Structure 1
Amino acid sequence: MEAMAVNPSTSSTAIVNQPSQNLPSSSSIPTPPMKPLLKVHQFPSHLDAPDISTTARTICEVLTRASPHDIESALSSTGISPSPEIVEEVLRFSYHYPSSALKFFRWAMQTQKHSADAWNLMVDLLGKNQLFEAMWDAVRSMKQEGVLSTATFASVFENYCTVRRSNEAVMSFDVMDRYGIQQDVVAVNLLLSAFFREDNQTAKALEFVERIKTKIPPDVDTFTIVLGGLEKEGNVAQAIRTFREMVEGIGWSLQYMGAYDAFLMTLVRGAAVDEAIKFLEVMKGNNCLPGLKFFSNALDILIDQGDSRQAIPLWDIMVGSGLLPNLIMYNSMIGLLCNNDDINNAFRLLDEMVFNGAFPDSLTYNMIFECLIKNKKAHEVSKFFVEMIKNEWLPTHSNCAMAIAMLFEGYDPETSIEIWNYMIENSIKPLDKSANALLLGLCKLGRLSELGSFANDMLDRRVRIYDSTMENLKNAFYKEGRASRDKFDSLSRRWKAR
């Protein structure tokens, strides 16, 4: 990385005027040897910005091409007198060359004062490049210029936390008042946000909150930030403690729903759904039940985990509170129940759907139909098939094939034949699996006359009859004597000629 042309240890005129002797020097924030840039690659250069202004592009090209010693003269030779807006635009595209950006910043200062936004960009640019000595020089200069703000310190906090220098981030907060910036709950929340944006800084953040809360009481944003961080970390025990402290400190309100959602999601993700349900009951009693978004996200997690036991009470709280799931949520939940063979609850949800404005579709019916088939509930399969066709929802070809085979085993061949005929009449394809299941079922029952008729019709329709099926048919026909043998041979000749 290019070296900064700055020596903050000798003078703070690196940015503007000599600072007040009452302000802390940059040495109060220890700076280790330079490290490689972190995350600077996330910031675009002027080459990545097709909408950059012509003036800003010209300046950026000077900054990237001119040698460090020639930058000021090269800038002057352009004849450009950059406006505050141009200065800000150039800085936004100069994170990759901080030394040149700083020289441009000084050069532009010769003709006019910089805006507060330009100063903040300069502070952030230096911090992102881990040039913390120069960053503090800029902060002190901003104090003298009267443009220092809480937003400046938000950038300082973030840049220290990004490189895991949490102690310096806290020290920056501690010296805010010496720079004329109030240490209030807004500043507390900015520091906490910086902590929780990074991984593995929760302990330091909680330590800071514990120390500062007696001086600066937390507000709802504080709790929301902390609970969001604990959700990210998956710290269930601490989330419960923080939530209880929140309720005791600031009470209940629907305006705090962001914090509630983060807390509850921590419990759900942390396999503490039973605890989440207990808290939901308490929240319901305080008229602070979360909205459909929380329930949808929580149920998605439980569905992914295949956990119908926990999903059912969560679902019942949601629906019982007047929150109406849509068709997608119903299908996801019914799919979970069917996968867990909980057919009773699947039927319960199917029955309640219409009353809640979600009308079942083909997926809904086919999931339940498949579950009934797999659980060999022959009587229920027959009844449900009638209901499906009554409501004009076609069973899938794979469900038809499974149903035909299972119903023969369940001593309901007539419904098997009915399903086959329905497939033919409604062009439910492909037919191969269902056709072979029907032939094998009739074969096992010895209904060879019907079998021959169906087989010939299948060949007429160019339906594929498997080799293994034909072998079973041959054995069955050949056992019945010469006449049956001739019928099979005739069928076999047609089959081989297909």
Structure 2
Amino acid sequence: MRKSRKRSQGEDSSSSSSSKLDTHKKPHHHRNSDFNFRDSYNHFTPRRDSGHHVLGKRSNLASYHEAPSLPPKLKILCEIVAQTPAVTVERVLEDTGIRVGSEDVEKVLKLCYDYPGSAVKFFRWASKQLNNRHSANAWDLVVDLLGKNCLFEAMWDAIKSMRNEFLLSMATFKSVFVNYVSSDRVQDAILSFEVMDQYGIPSGVVALNTLLYAICSHGKTRLAENYFRIVKEKIRVDAETYAILLEGWEREGEVGRARLTFSEMVVDIGWDKRNTRSYDSFLCTLIMGPDGMREAMKDFGAMAERGCYPGIKFFKFAIDESVRKSDVRSAKVVWDAIVGKNICLPDTVMYKSLISLYCNAKDFDAAEKLLDEMVYHQAFPDSETYGLLFHFLIKHKRLREATRVFKEMVKNEFVPLQQDCCTAVKTYVGAGDPHMGIKVWRCMIENYSWDLDETGNLLVVGLRDMNRLPEAVKCAEDMIERGIKLNSATLTKLKQSLSKLGKTFAYEELLCKWKSH
């Protein structure tokens, strides 16, 4: 680990000095300038470890073992490549009598990244059947699998052969950049960019952005910025260049550097409504810093004054952060920008977050208003959205609003959480609302089959205390039939009330049912 860090520091130093960069210098793995890749197949022998696996980085692509419904022909070819020593692969393949097309070659190469030596021999064998006319994509796969396995000399031999066939593209060099950077060799990636013109691929801003993205996406944005400062004197950078750097700073949480890059971008290319990616990343990075929301909202205001806005990523991040910090004011500013200025459509998750914020702030009118407006912005309440609002309304005894939410929730075939149902029954009964207490109870017993005893007994006793004895008896009978335990204490209270009304026979019938169950 220590060794890797020292190398990175060296690259930082070398890439920051323009006098040390020679545009004609090739990465030091590009030797043997007259070497033809086709003639190299028989001589190509990667280092071995446990069979014929190459030492180096492994591919993230799927192995042929993981490929679903692989045709028998391709499975046989992959098994030969994976299980046969490189020196005998071609003979074994020849003995199969299998014929392949360009698509077959590409599919096998994609599934055999872990066997570069044998994969190259397979590529050579297939070349004979294809009259030495492999597709550009197949060549790119060879370049990539060699690079991913740190076989850079062979990789450059393949690139040279591609140049001779006029098959090179930006995609080829993108693979080169990524594989050098992932191997902690940023300087070689930079040198590869600087020799692109010699291979017929322009080293303009598109290529530069591809290089910088490869470097930044691997957590090395500082090295990318160092080279950016050198090369921008020769190449006119664009909005994409700055977006890549700002996304890098966002990933690494570098607030100060992000601010410097953003300021430089504004001076260099000005304000542009289309530059959403940069605004997104910059504001998201600011939120990570000390006093982040205040700083982000200040810069957000400056953008808005110029008609420039970030995208949905920032708005989601800002809403989540506002909820985390219970910052209603910032949330309102962000929300007004989303909805009021119609910048983007808020989704259900964003609505849920904001409803949660307002509920915690006890602004239930605002929370209900959000629920009502969701459908107008093509966001539809789900069980969690309704449940969230119902939970807080019941908790704070806002029963009129809770009743409306509950009815709408059930109408849309959603069910409150069981604990919220328990609390709701208790609250409605305590508030003297037997009708809603029974309605929530019915919803509860239709959707849950456990932990019902306590709530059921509470409802029966509550109905009895509110002089709703017929409903109490009916509820008690239903509980018994459903196998929900009716407590002896509840029975005793029902007996007392029924006896006072001269309806002992009703109690006897209830008791008989209770004993039989």
Give the TM-score normalised by structure 1. Answer: 0.72
**1:115-169 deviation line (CA, Å, top 9, x unaligned):** 5444333322221221112222333444455444443322211111122222322
Q: Which residue of 2 aligns with 1:226?
A: 245
1:98 aligns with 2:98: no
Which sits farther off after the overlay, 366-375 or 125-134?
366-375
Distance in structure 2 (CA, Å) of the matches to 1:401 and 1:144: 77
Higher relative contact order by CA 8 Å / sep ≥ 6: 1 or 2? 2
Q: Please report how far the alpha carbon of residue 419 of structure 1 lies from its aligned counterpart in structure 2 after TM superposition.
A: 2.3
Q: Which runs of 5+ in 1 are unaligned?
A: 1-6, 19-30
The answer to whether the 8 A contact 2:428-2:437 is kept is: no
**Of 288, 292, 295, the match for 2:308:** 288
Q: Which residue of 2 aligns with 1:13?
A: 35
The answer to whether the 8 A contact 1:228-1:262 is kept is: yes
Is the alpha carbon distance of 1:248 and 1:488 closer, same or farther for their aligned partners in structure 2, counting shifts above 3 Å?
A: farther
Which sits farther off after the overlay, 278-287 or 142-151?
142-151
**1:220-250 deviation line (CA, Å, top 9, x unaligned):** 2222222222333333333333233223322
Is the alpha carbon distance of 1:255 and 1:148 closer, same or farther for their aligned partners in structure 2, counting shifts above 3 Å?
A: same
**Of 448, 451, 458, the match for 2:475:** 458
Is the alpha carbon distance of 1:373 and 1:10 closer, same or farther for their aligned partners in structure 2, counting shifts above 3 Å?
A: closer
**Of 183, 189, 193, the match for 1:169:** 189
1:278 aligns with 2:278: no
**1:153-189 deviation line (CA, Å, top 9, x unaligned):** 2221111112222232223223334555432212211
Q: Which runs of 5+ in 2 are unaligned?
A: 1-28, 41-46, 447-451
Distance in structure 1 (CA, Å) of the matches to 2:477 and 2:107: 75
Pairs aligned (count): 460
Structure label with greater radius of gyration: 1
Considering only aligned residues, what root-mean-square deviation do their CA atoms show, in Å?
4.8
Spell out the pairing of 1:131-142 with structure 2 (5 A cutoff): 131-142=151-162
The answer to whether the 8 A contact 1:12-1:137 is kept is: no
Overall identity of the aligned pairs, in %: 35
Distance in structure 2 (CA, Å) of the matches to 1:375 and 1:440: 23
Q: Which residue of 1 aligns with 2:207?
A: 187
Which sits farther off after the overlay, 8-17 or 185-194?
8-17
Secondary structure at 2:479's aligned position in 1? coil
Q: Which residue of 1 aligns with 2:174?
A: 154
The answer to whether the 8 A contact 2:246-2:278 is kept is: yes
Q: Please report how far the alpha carbon of residue 38 of structure 1 lies from its aligned counterpart in structure 2 after TM superposition.
A: 1.6
1:470 aligns with 2:517: no
Which sits farther off after the overlay, 459-468 or 168-177?
459-468
Is the alpha carbon distance of 1:166 and 1:404 closer, same or farther for their aligned partners in structure 2, counting shifts above 3 Å?
A: same
Distance in structure 2 (CA, Å) of the matches to 1:78 and 1:399: 68
Spell out the pairing of 1:51-90 with structure 2 (5 A cutoff): 54=73, 63=81, 67-71=85-89, 88=106, 90=108
Distance in structure 1 (CA, Å) of the matches to 2:306 and 2:32: 61
Is the alpha carbon distance of 1:62 and 1:17 closer, same or farther for their aligned partners in structure 2, counting shifts above 3 Å?
A: closer
Q: Please report how far the alpha carbon of residue 195 of structure 1 lies from its aligned counterpart in structure 2 after TM superposition.
A: 1.8
Spell out the pairing of 1:30-41 with structure 2 (5 A cutoff): 36-40=55-59
Give the TM-score normalised by structure 2. Answer: 0.69
**Of 358, 378, 389, the match for 1:337:** 358
Secondary structure at 2:37's aligned position in 1? coil
Which sits farther off after the overlay, 308-317 or 103-112?
103-112
Secondary structure at 2:362's aligned position in 1? coil
Distance in structure 1 (CA, Å) of the matches to 2:311 and 2:32: 58
1:251 aligns with 2:270: yes
Distance in structure 1 (CA, Å) of the matches to 2:409 and 2:453: 26
Is the alpha carbon distance of 1:256 and 1:486 closer, same or farther for their aligned partners in structure 2, counting shifts above 3 Å?
A: same
Distance in structure 2 (CA, Å) of the matches to 1:470 and 1:184: 84
**Paired letter, 1:264:** L
Secondary structure at 2:57's aligned position in 1? coil
Distance in structure 1 (CA, Å) of the matches to 2:100 and 2:421: 75
Distance in structure 1 (CA, Å) of the matches to 2:356 and 2:66: 50
Is the alpha carbon distance of 1:35 and 1:467 closer, same or farther for their aligned partners in structure 2, counting shifts above 3 Å?
A: same
**Paired letter, 2:396:** N
Q: Which residue of 2 aligns with 1:3?
A: none
Distance in structure 2 (CA, Å) of the matches to 1:83 and 1:483: 94
**Paired letter, 1:457:** K
Q: Please report how far the alpha carbon of residue 12 of structure 1 lies from its aligned counterpart in structure 2 after TM superposition.
A: 5.0
